[in-house]
Chain A
């Protein structure tokens, strides 16, 4: 189906108009807080709908090339839609629509305390710039929009500046995102200078002619820049600070959607702009992905802050996506285009799936935080009885992120496994070993993720409440439950009917790489590499449903006793059951802390306060078992110390003498003139 480019242009303009109306309207109605809040979020909602339509139109075949000559220097502002960009627009819209709907209810709490007008403005700008970034088609458009997106998200993170951890989070986020921006800036300018053009479309042809050193350098710079936005280890330090600090609908967007723009950039770098690279590019990507996946989930396991746990899981899932990307790059470097396409499809499918279930989980966490005013899992519990619908939606998200059938996480991880297993078709021993370790890492990650979400869901929602606020929690309003229901439905639908996404993904990957993926699928089955492996998710779901209904009927027919009596939990003879007897999150994570002590380097402290009269009587016992953040200690602090030492040395230049400064300007000017002429 060919969609006219005027239709596409109209869709784009409508989308932008909605976001602008939302942004400006929110600011204009600032004195009337409720109205400003409604206008801001409604504008974002409608804009997300428009963007969704635009994305679908782009996937189906619509084309759009738009250049506004004088808006930006060197080439103007250039936008374009191709299938890959359209797919990412769909991902963004699919995350933004529920987030905006959720915000309608969630932001009510901020009325009177924080600027809702500012939040509405920043929210609309954030989503609009994200959509435009994936549509950008030349360097300055991309960089300008990237920076706008980072600034908008910074202001959203800093919504509650009176909290200490928010200021710290905002600061780290600001520095990391600009360090990444600097790397991107350098990489883009080097590539533009080497190929002679600022337009993305011409790079893939011209980049093959570049000499290997500059190509490698550009790859490293761009990978660092996009990697820091995606949150790969060791550039992830901003993620576990910024995502919990932001309001929950913003966390859902940042975690579900914004870090995917890093993935978008990496896909463009690996498969579009720089052509087919040497083997070490793919190998490094795969190893970085494996490390991020395993370390992300290991850090998540010992977290008790519900939102920080989810943030670390984003690091883990980005690692899984990079495993697919790295695998694809390795296949391409060895000429196996069909397998590369399969790996890329697996990675992109996981991108969409992660957007769906991570947004769902953050919204659930936001509902819990709203109801109980605490993020600490150790103070929660029993919420499944107080907030049954939120609990069910969070359960769907948990089962999906643990990659269990028949939900969506299972399909994308299955595809990733299949593409990694097919690596035996490469006959290079080092590469085979890297793939084998990648498979082991992915398996370990999925097992640990299941463990972590047993903890997250079990401690937060099950058994008895561990504190007064948890015992008094109430279910949240429908505007917050409806987007969760929508995303839960999406998780189930994407898991049971993968062909809905696989068909457009295959088309997008074919446009990008020119190769068909090594898989077949129809309405019920997905088959990898002819007969290497297959799965029929719809049948599995039907089978599970059929047996679930048949077993109770069978039991009734053989006359099994169905009487049920409610009584207290067995307590080994103790007098009463309180929440103090339940298992805690710290205890749940203890086996992992012990097994992986090399990573956590836990610091244990035991403080016992005795009764002043006699040491036989104990008043209080305090037990601390904290893990240390090894990346911060080993990588960032020495780096910061070095920079601070350099800055102290450079202070000599700041003499305070104006004449000295004028001489500096003269020297710099002369040097520039000599260098460039």
Chain B
């Protein structure tokens, strides 16, 4: 019982405290690639701390949904942190849901954030909400078909069991379908987290914003919660990508040695992914909004091909 609580607490702390660091690393990597020094990797921590000391300015047009949404976003991310196998495949609370339940928890956060964007009555918020839900809706089929592709090979949709299966039989991963599913999922991760080429997280122009436009009205602790939740969502998506597709290092038993190894392995994998994202963001320009469905359709095709290869190449 005590070990279970400790493990869940460790996973939760890692996600809670590690996500601003991940965001900082990506920004630093982007800065380096662009020839700048960049802010220190601890800057997001300083930003969150500053926001928490500031007073909230809330629009008069808003309702309780506006004030409730940041808490709900952070809640869904923290709950997901308990379910996702961050360090170990023996996640005690992993019985709460499988990968489909996880995706719908993310969608719950997006739903309320879109409502909060409409709540202030500004055109920017509405525009952000409209674009965000369009992209989220178009990314859903890719996610589910990619899950189908993974489940076909692993024989299960529960996150823990998928990793255990792949870690036990590495040859299952050695085929084109697995790689295709990975790329499809990577594109979805970029779309869902508001990264280039779908959305520029560093833009100042409202008409080019998607996620930033929805949260334009937030300030103070509400903004801190929203930014933190966005960081956690990115962390969890990258953790899923690392552990589902490259499960080396994930603890299969709950011994201290295995957990430390898992921690180091995850840190290395996330660092690599951070650099990969920074590379992608620096090399491609943001897509025009009505080109994004083409990108998502492409990722859907990749996922469908992953499924088809699973059926035809047995």
Contacts and interface: CB of A to CB of B under 8 A. Distances in A.
Contacts of B107: 402, 404, 446-447, 450
Nearest to A436: B307
B136 A451 contact: yes
Contact of B122 (A455, A570, A592): A570
Given A533-B156, A535-B101, A570-B216, A582 B122 contact: yes
A429 interface: yes
A555 B53 CA distance: 11
A552 B161 CA distance: 35
27 contacts: A404-B108, A404-B111, A405-B97, A421-B151, A424-B152, A436-B145, A436-B304, A436-B308, A440-B141, A440-B145, A447-B137, A454-B115, A458-B119, A540-B96, A540-B105, A543-B82, A548-B71, A548-B72, A551-B71, A551-B78, A561-B53, A564-B55, A564-B58, A566-B58, A567-B58, A582-B126, A587-B126
A564 B70 CA distance: 15
Contacts of B311: 424, 429, 432-433
Report the contact-size class of chain B (Cβ under 8 Å from the partner).
35 or more
B148 interface: yes
A587 B307 CA distance: 36
A673 B293 CA distance: 65
A247 to B, nearest CB: 29
Interface stretch (A212-220, A459-467, A481-489): A459-467
B138 A447 contact: yes
B253 interface: no
Contact of A555 (B130, B147, B148, B221): B221
B143 interface: yes
Which of B52, B54, B97, B161 is the most central at the interface, judged by chain A CB atoms within 10 Å of its CB? B97
B105 A595 contact: no
A602 to B, nearest CB: 14
A571 interface: yes
A525 B101 CA distance: 13
A450 B101 contact: no
A441 to B, nearest CB: 8
Given A451-B137, A583-B125, A384 B65 contact: yes
Given A447-B136, A551-B225, A439 B144 contact: yes
Nearest to A381: B121
A458 B114 contact: yes
Contacts of B111: 399, 402, 404, 450, 453-454
B312 A447 contact: no
Interface stretch (A66-74, A182-190, A410-418): A410-418
A224 B138 CA distance: 31
A563 B137 contact: no
A535 B145 CA distance: 19
A577 B62 CA distance: 13
A594 B57 CA distance: 36
A382 B300 CA distance: 38
Interface string A537-553: 00110011001100110
A463 B298 CA distance: 36
Contacts of B157: 418, 421, 532-533
B56 A565 contact: yes
B65 A464 contact: no
Interface string B239-262: 000000000000000000000000
Contacts of A444: 137-138, 140-141
Given A405-B105, A440-B141, A539 B130 contact: no
Contact of A443 (B130, B140, B156): B140
Given A567-B59, A591-B289, A440 B300 contact: yes
A450 B133 contact: yes
A564 B289 CA distance: 35
Majority SS at the chain B contact face: helix
A395 B68 CA distance: 13
Contacts of B220: 561, 564
Interface of B: 52-65, 71-72, 74-76, 78-79, 82, 93, 95-98, 100-101, 104-105, 107-108, 110-111, 114-115, 118-127, 129-131, 133-134, 136-141, 143-145, 147-148, 151-152, 155-158, 161, 206, 216-217, 220-221, 224-225, 289-290, 293, 300, 304, 307-308, 311-312
Given A451-B134, A544-B72, A595-B290, 9 more contacts: A395-B65, A404-B104, A462-B118, A532-B155, A535-B101, A540-B97, A562-B221, A570-B59, A570-B217
Majority SS at the chain A contact face: helix
Contacts of A561: 52-56, 220-221
Contact of A535 (B98, B130, B137, B151): B98
Interface residues of A, number: 84
A402 B127 CA distance: 20
B275 to A, nearest CB: 30
Given A539-B96, A581-B123, A454 B59 contact: no
Contacts of A417: 100, 144
A454 B95 contact: no
B61 A569 contact: yes
A548 B55 contact: no
A582 B280 CA distance: 35
Contact of A594 (B78, B98, B290): B290
B225 A568 contact: no
B17 to A, nearest CB: 13
A566 B157 CA distance: 46
B123 A582 contact: yes
Contacts of A429: 311-312
Contacts of B79: 540, 543-544, 547
Which of A453, A463, A592 is the most central at the interface, judged by chain B CB atoms within 10 Å of its CB? A463
B305 to A, nearest CB: 11
B97 to A, nearest CB: 5
Contacts of B78: 547, 551
B53 to A, nearest CB: 5
A28 B72 CA distance: 54
Contacts of B147: 421
Interface in A375-409: 382, 384-385, 395, 399, 402-405
Contacts of B98: 533-535
Given A443-B143, A457-B115, A591-B289, A571 B122 contact: yes
A499 interface: no
A471 interface: no
Contact of B129 (A403, A540, A588): A588
Contact of B76 (A382, A458, A533, A544): A544
* Chain A to chain B: the 10 pairs with minimum beta-carbon distance, closest first: A583-B126, A447-B137, A463-B121, A447-B140, A458-B118, A443-B144, A451-B133, A547-B75, A591-B134, A533-B157
B308 to A, nearest CB: 8
Contacts of A614: none
B204 to A, nearest CB: 12
A458 B93 CA distance: 34
A30 to B, nearest CB: 44
Nearest to A404: B108
Nearest to A449: B137
B249 to A, nearest CB: 24
A560 B289 contact: no
Which of A395, A451, A589 is the most central at the interface, judged by chain B CB atoms within 10 Å of its CB? A451
A544 B75 contact: yes
Given A536-B97, A543-B79, A567 B304 contact: no
Contact of A581 (B76, B122, B137, B304): B122
Contacts of A525: 95
Contacts of A558: 52
Which of A533, A555, A577, A579 is the most central at the interface, judged by chain B CB atoms within 10 Å of its CB? A533
A442 interface: yes
Contacts of A567: 57-60
A620 interface: no
A385 B60 CA distance: 11
A454 B114 contact: yes
Contact of A403 (B57, B63, B104, B127): B104
A170 B79 CA distance: 49
Contacts of B54: 561
